Amino acid sequence: MLDKLENLENKYEELSELIADPKVMEDQGRWQQYVKSHSDISDVVTVYREYKKVLSELEDVGQMLKDRLDTDMREMAELEAEELKDKKQEFENRLKVLLLPKDPNDDKNVIMEIRAGTGGEEAALFGSDLFRMYTRFAELKGWRTEIMDSHYTDIGGIKEIVFLIEGKGAFSQLKFESGVHRVQRVPTTESGGRIHTSAATVAVLPEAEEVDVDINPNELRVDVFCSTGPGGQSVNTTQSAVRITHIPTGIVVSCQDEKSQLKNKDKAMKVLRARLLDQAQLEQRQQMASVRKSQVGSGDRSERIRTYNFPQNRVTDHRIGLTLHRLQEVLMGSLQEVIDALITTDQAERLQQVD
């Protein structure tokens, strides 16, 4: 591990010189590539340098303990040595995590899809709650959200919504949200006060660039139509809504939220690229039969991952056995504790596989 860290530090120094070189700056493409590589390893190099300081201090204290010291000085030196050993272990654990292979999608923006599942109107209302939860979470992170396509019910529930979240590391934070989210509560439409169980499905896709997915325009069928509102009524007399079918895979994407046909087409192509990239990566993961399925990152969207229980003010993530008794806070976007626990579990599993 130390050899790898030393090589990374040398590479970091080399990249620091290159991005400061005026000749390199003239080639913006190459310069940006160096800046990204520099940024990618900056965290691990920073921690490694702190680790080396601790090793140096530990060595100095060790030399002190070899000398003749009075009782008070020896006790202080021994206490300092113990603290430094704890720090050394802490830095080693952090470095192991930082050296884990990075998901190439982690820095990408996210396209999220929420669809109402079992439960009729109540499932659609829950879909609306989930959409608000993720957009509030994005707000707290300083990220930007943009609706790509949406279909609402007459009373404001969401049958289906597709939206983009733009922000550094958005996919790394939200990738474990894919799956079935279940709600247990008394619906507003229930007169007898009985608790119902409903569900909505969430899909989290990394936004794909044009270079990530090769799409042949001849393999696309593009249809235009008038956009519709709740209940199916027409809200636009011009044919601004766009439906794109990718013929080889049968994937169909539609977008009607913009008044401009061109903007709707651009948004639909973004969603199509994301779905094609996700499909290709899913096939790759399925082919890697030797790799043990991760507890939190299987990507199986039919799996029930979380329950939101209103009577007990409880949120439970079933994959890691985490339960929080602050449901309303979570639904208002306070998701970080859940997300951190999922990331930590995933890292621990991957470290076990490395060991």
DSSP string, 51-87: HHHHHHHHHHHHHHHHS---HHHHHHHHHHHHHHHHH
Indicate the pLDDT class of residue 100, thresholds 50, 70 and 90. Answer: confident
In angstroms, what CA-CA distances link 71 with 60, 80, 83, 85, 221?
A: 18, 14, 19, 21, 84
* Tokens, residue 2: 């130390």
* Amino acid (one-letter) located at 355: D
Q: Does residue 11 register a pLDDT over 70?
A: yes
Q: Which residues of 275-296 are buried (b: 16+ CB within 10 A; e: fewer)?
A: bbbbeebeeeeeeeeeeeebeb
pLDDT > 70 in the chain, percent: 89
pLDDT score of 285? 61
Q: Does residue 299 register a pLDDT over 70?
A: no
Half-sphere exposure of 200 (CA within 13 A, CB side): 27
pTM: 0.72
* Average pLDDT value for residue range 221-231: 72
Q: Does residue 284 register a pLDDT over 70?
A: no
As a whole number, the mean pLDDT across the chain is 86
Q: Read off the pLDDT of residues 149-193 as tens digits, 9 standing for 90 and up.
A: 888 988 889 999 999 999 988 999 999 999 999 999 998 767 677
Q: Does residue 213 register a pLDDT over 90?
A: no
Determine the 3-state secondary structure of 304 from DSSP. strand
* Helix orientation angle between 71-98 and 28-66, rounded to the nearest 10 degrees: 150
Q: Using CA atoms, how far apart are residues 181 and 307, in angstroms rounded to an integer?
A: 6
Phi-psi label, residue 225: left if phi above 0, alpha if psi -120 to 50, beta otherwise: beta
pLDDT higher at 327 or 72 = 327
For the purposes of burial, counting CB atoms within 10 Å of the CB of 202, is it exposed (0-12), middle (13-18) or buried (19 or more)? buried
Phi-psi label, residue 176: left if phi above 0, alpha if psi -120 to 50, beta otherwise: alpha
pLDDT score of 289? 45
* Tokens, residue 58: 């530990």
Q: Which residues of 220-245 are buried (b: 16+ CB within 10 A; e: fewer)?
A: eeeeeeebeeeeeeeeeeeebbbbbb
Q: Does residue 234 register a pLDDT over 60?
A: no
Residues whose CB falls within 8 Å of the CB of residue 49, separated by 6 or more in sequence, listed in order: 9
Beta bridge partners of 225: 241
Strands 220-225 and 314-317: unpaired
* Cβ neighbours of 337 (radius 10 Å): 14
Indicate the pLDDT class of residue 232, thresholds 50, 70 and 90. Answer: very low
Query: Which of 67-76, 210-219, 325-334 ranks highest by mean pLDDT?
Result: 325-334
Indicate the pLDDT class of residue 32, thresholds 50, 70 and 90. Answer: confident
* Average pLDDT value for residue range 219-237: 66
pLDDT score of 237? 53
pLDDT score of 246? 92
Q: Does residue 221 register a pLDDT over 60?
A: yes
Question: Percentages helix, strand, coil for the chain, rounded to the nearest 5?
Answer: 50, 20, 30
Q: Read off the pLDDT of residues 106-142 as tens digits, 9 standing for 90 and up.
A: 889 999 999 999 888 999 999 999 999 999 999 999 9
pLDDT score of 129? 96
pLDDT score of 133? 97
The owner of tokens 């030399």 is: 63
Q: Read off the pLDDT of residues 47-88 as tens digits, 9 standing for 90 and up.
A: 999 999 999 999 998 888 888 777 888 888 889 999 999 999
* Amino acid (one-letter) located at 170: A
